[in-house]
Amino acid sequence: MANTETPKEYGLTELPPEPKPVPSCKICLGFSVRRGNARSRGDYSGVSDANVEMRRHQRGAHPEDRL
Ligand SMILES: [Zn+2]
């Protein structure tokens, strides 16, 4: 009954593709750098936050570049 907290299977198979920084956009680049830093210290929630924010930014700023 205390077993609901860690879904271990969640991970490698169904990750959505990460957003890519749009070339020449410094805001995208900032998210990309932040994501790289977070990943390099093993901060996966930081990686995921950066992805969410990059997507949100891209939806507003680069609607035509969205993949
Ligand atoms: Zn951008």
Element counts in the chain: helices (H) and strands (E) = 2, 0
- Cα separation, 6 vs 19, whole angstroms: 26
Q: Do 51 and 35 form a contact (C-beta atoms < 8 A)?
A: yes
| Two structure tokens written together for 60 | 């507003």
CA of 48 from ligand 1 middle (Å) equals 17
Q: Do 19 and 58 form a contact (C-beta atoms < 8 A)?
A: yes
pLDDT at 57 over 80: yes
Which residue is listed with tokens 């996966």?
Answer: 44
Q: Do 67 and 28 form a contact (C-beta atoms < 8 A)?
A: no
CA of 19 from ligand 1 middle (Å) equals 10
pLDDT at 66: 47
CA of 60 from ligand 1 middle (Å) equals 9
Q: pTM of whole model > 0.75? A: no
CA of 39 from ligand 1 middle (Å) equals 20
pLDDT at 4: 62
